[in-house]
Amino acid sequence: MTTRRVLALGAAMGLVAGPALTDTVNVFNWSDYITDEVLEMFTERTGIAINYDVYDSNDTLEARLLAGSSGFDVVVPTGTFLQRQIAAGVYQPLNRDLLPNMAGMDAELMAAAAAHDPDNEHAVIYMWGTTGIGYNIDMVAERLGEDFEVDTWAMIFDPEIAGKLADCGISWLDSPTDMFPAAFAWMGKNPQSTEAADFEAAAAMMMGVRDTVRYFHSSQYITDLANGETCVAVGWSGDVLQAAERAESAGNDVNVWYAIPREGAMQWFDMMGIPADAPNPENAHAFINFILEPEITAKITNYVWFPNGNAASWPMVEEEIFTDPAIFPTEEVSETLFTGVTYDSRTDRTVTRLWTRVRTGQ
């Protein structure tokens, strides 16, 4: 995931957390990713005040962390970013004695997240999700027929199919770390490939269909899908479902839903970690432990519609959400999911360059 919500501006330009008092905890999380109720409950129970700040992209968070002295106690990067930040020495190991609620975590999901953080030494899953396709049910059926099965990357990568959808508006995430693995999955390549030749081939394939893309953006699609401004968007599961909910409550006859492509889709983990130079590490542990309380995690999932990794909370997640395969994928679908890989700096540069070419068509 790269950019969520509007621009990184607000976050990029400061908003440094206040002075470090012992009875505060400075939390830096994604925007629209928690319910205020939970934050109030934490302060009520522990007496620790929360400075809660939000960002909209991993890049913004990473720039702050790498610059040093960020002043944050708890941050929530996505796994692939976490991995590189650990290598740069950004995090302190978690003290398990202060996190008894970690016992409730789902072993399988934590094992998957350990791909980014061996033995889950530095971080624990906050929420997770998939990168798939949001679509307008009626507009797509009108153009591709009622029987068309939308759970495929062909919706955006097959020139013929994407060509039929282009007039009602297709948007892609402006995030090469999401788009290249998706392209690999569609092309039948290893989605975790780091071969320069694979990236070249994927870029060439995407160049072939870029004329069907109305824009590249990582949050605008939420509003546009909800308004019927666009009909297909590559997006993050919870964000697309948020668009679906907005469309429903607006009552404007727009029906949006989310599909996990059968060729395989990326499963990502947003992980809570504590920076090595956190001013209040003990409060940070208290906050993380509080979030991992089963009823608290359930409250958050019920609000944001992203699945969590806290198995102990699942009985308290609303039935409608827990049984929705678009939110909690079925076992069968889970097997087609893959995790992202962290690119080294050389691959990073290749990927950014190729992506600029795809995005600008030059």
Partner 1 sequence: MTWRRALVIAIPMLWLGIFFLAPFFVLGRISLAEAIIARPPYTPLFGRAPDGSLEIFASLENFRFLLEDALYRNAYLSSIRVALISTIFALLIGYPIAYYIARAPEPKRSILLLMVILPFWTSFLLRVYAWMGFLRTNGVINNTLMSLGIIDAPLRLMHTDLAVYIGIVYTYLPFMILPLYANLTKLDAALLEAASDLGASPVVTFLTVTLPLSLPGIVAGSMLVFIPAIGEYVIPALLGGPDTLMIGRVLWDEFFSSRDWPVASAVAIVMLFLVVAPIMWLQSVQNRREEH
Q: How far is residue 208 from each of residues 2, 26, 42, 360, measured CA to CA in Å?
A: 23, 46, 51, 13
Cβ atoms of 51 and 17 within 8 Å: the answer is yes
Q: Where are the beta strands (DSSP E) in the chain?
A: 24-30, 49-55, 74-75, 123-136, 170-172, 215-216, 232-236, 256-259, 266-273, 338-339
In whole angstroms, how close is the CB of 250 to partner 1 at the nearest point? 12
- Out of 13, 47, 67, 188, name the contact with partner 1 by CB under 8 A: 67
Please give the single-letter amino acid code of residue 342.
T
79 binds partner 1 (CB under 8 A): no
352 binds partner 1 (CB under 8 A): yes
Distance (Å, rounded) from C-alpha 134 to C-alpha 253? Answer: 16
143 binds partner 1 (CB under 8 A): no
Q: How far apart are the first and last CA of the chain?
A: 24
- Out of 71, 79, 129, 176, name the contact with partner 1 by CB under 8 A: 176
- Subset of 193-232 contacting partner 1 (CB under 8 A): 210, 213-216, 227-229
92 binds partner 1 (CB under 8 A): no
Distance (Å, rounded) from C-alpha 349 to C-alpha 234? Answer: 23
In whole angstroms, how close is the CB of 319 to partner 1 at the nearest point? 36
118 binds partner 1 (CB under 8 A): no
In whole angstroms, how close is the CB of 38 to partner 1 at the nearest point? 29
348 binds partner 1 (CB under 8 A): yes
Rounded CA Rg of the chain: 20
Q: Alpha helices, DSSP H only, in 145-194?
A: 154-157, 159-165, 176-187
In whole angstroms, how close is the CB of 106 to partner 1 at the nearest point? 30
Cβ atoms of 238 and 33 within 8 Å: the answer is no
In whole angstroms, how close is the CB of 192 to partner 1 at the nearest point? 19
90 binds partner 1 (CB under 8 A): yes
9 binds partner 1 (CB under 8 A): yes
In whole angstroms, how close is the CB of 211 to partner 1 at the nearest point? 10
The tokens for 15 are 């908003």
SS3 for 117-136 is: CHHHCCEEEEEEEEEEEEEE
- Out of 62, 73, 106, 151, name the contact with partner 1 by CB under 8 A: 62
Site string for partner 1, 11-50 (x = CB under 8 A): ----------------------------------------
Specify the 3-state DSSP secondary structure of 105: strand
Q: Which residues contact 223 (CB under 8 A, 6 or more apart)?
A: 229, 243, 246
- Out of 57, 120, 212, 267, name the contact with partner 1 by CB under 8 A: 57
53 binds partner 1 (CB under 8 A): no
Contact residues for partner 1, defined by CB under 8 A: 2, 7-9, 57, 59-60, 62-63, 65-68, 84, 87-90, 169, 176, 210, 213-216, 227-229, 345, 348-349, 352-353, 355-357, 359-362
